[in-house]
């Protein structure tokens, strides 16, 4: 069904190219938030807003072309200068690590991230859930819940420690393949909300 839909959409646009002005990122975010609040999920994050000008790549050779976008490289990495897990745990459990953890991975920092993040993303399957759902978990005084979220959903991305049962869900992502105007492929990967939060906080403190 996806193949037929993509083919029909491409044929339609080739026959009648759209000349309308493209919506800006701000306008998209505004409309996405409006439809999301009204409960119109499909119109928000699938076709009408996010992927309106992006055609899914569903041809027979798509899978064969994707590896060319990310060629394999040698996995013989120099690990001599990387700290061992024991030393990492000792650092974060120590005085300096504890101070850094409470400074940068505080409830205030996490709340600020979810309050300021965009409510729309081109490949974000969670879309407005960032602000509409998760933010509400941090607008009360339930400090115990806040710390549980940070300790078990956010900070594991710093340590790289995940339960094997949840490893594919937490540490992976959902790939999207779209067609470029020149005929090439554009591969996008949507990761976990918690992974993005961790990456932003780590970026801010380095």
- Select the more confidently predicted residue: 112 or 39: 112
Burial category of 114 from C-beta neighbours within 10 Å (exposed 0-12, middle 13-18, buried 19 and up): buried
Tens-place pLDDT, residues 48-81 = 445 556 677 877 888 888 888 777 777 677 777 7
pLDDT class for 118, splitting at 50, 70, 90?
A: low
pLDDT mean over 101-111: 89
| Residue 123, pLDDT score | 46
The answer to whether the CB of 41 falls within 8 A of the CB of 133 is no
* pLDDT at 146 (0 to 100): 93
Angle at which helices 85-93 and 95-104 pack, to 10 degrees? 70
pLDDT higher for 25 or 197?
Answer: 197
Q: How confident is the model at residue 20 (pLDDT cuts 50, 70, 90)?
A: low
Q: How far is CA 45 from the centre of its chain?
A: 13
What is the rounded average pLDDT of the residues 162-190? 75
Q: What pLDDT is attached to residue 172?
A: 65
- Please give the Cα distance from 144 to 122 (Å, whole number): 34
- Mean pLDDT computed over every residue of the chain: 75
In this predicted structure, what is the pLDDT of residue 44?
58
In this predicted structure, the answer to whether residue 42 has a pLDDT above a threshold of 60 is no
Confidence at residue 122, expressed as pLDDT on a 0 to 100 scale: 41
Report the alpha-carbon distance of residue 202 to residue 200 in Å, rounded. 5
Residues 6+ apart with CB under 8 A from 64: none
Neighbours of 170 (CB within 10 A): 16
Highest mean pLDDT among 33-42, 99-108, 130-139, 160-169: 99-108
């Amino acid at each position: 069904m996806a193949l037929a839909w993509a083919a029909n959409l491409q044929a339609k646009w080739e026959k009648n190219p759209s000349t309308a002005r493209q919506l800006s990122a701000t306008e998209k975010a505004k409309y996405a938030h409006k439809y999301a609040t009204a409960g119109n999920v499909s119109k928000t994050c699938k076709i009408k807003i996010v992927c309106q000008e992006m055609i899914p790549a569903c041809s027979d050779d798509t899978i064969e072309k994707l590896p060319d976008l990310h060629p394999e490289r040698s996995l013989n990495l120099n690990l001599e200068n990387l700290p061992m897990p024991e030393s990492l745990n000792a650092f974060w459990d120590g005085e300096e690590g504890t101070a850094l953890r409470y400074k940068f991975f505080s409830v205030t920092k996490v709340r600020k991230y979810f309050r300021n993040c965009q409510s729309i993303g081109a490949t974000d399957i969670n879309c407005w859930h960032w602000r509409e759902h998760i933010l509400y978990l941090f607008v009360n005084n339930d400090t115990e819940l806040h710390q549980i979220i940070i300790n078990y959903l956010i900070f594991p991305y710093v340590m790289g420690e995940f339960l094997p049962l949840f490893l594919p869900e937490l540490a992976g992502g959902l790939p999207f393949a779209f067609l470029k105007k020149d005929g090439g492929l554009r591969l996008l990967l949507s990761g976990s909300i918690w992974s993005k939060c961790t990456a932003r906080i780590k970026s801010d403190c380095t």
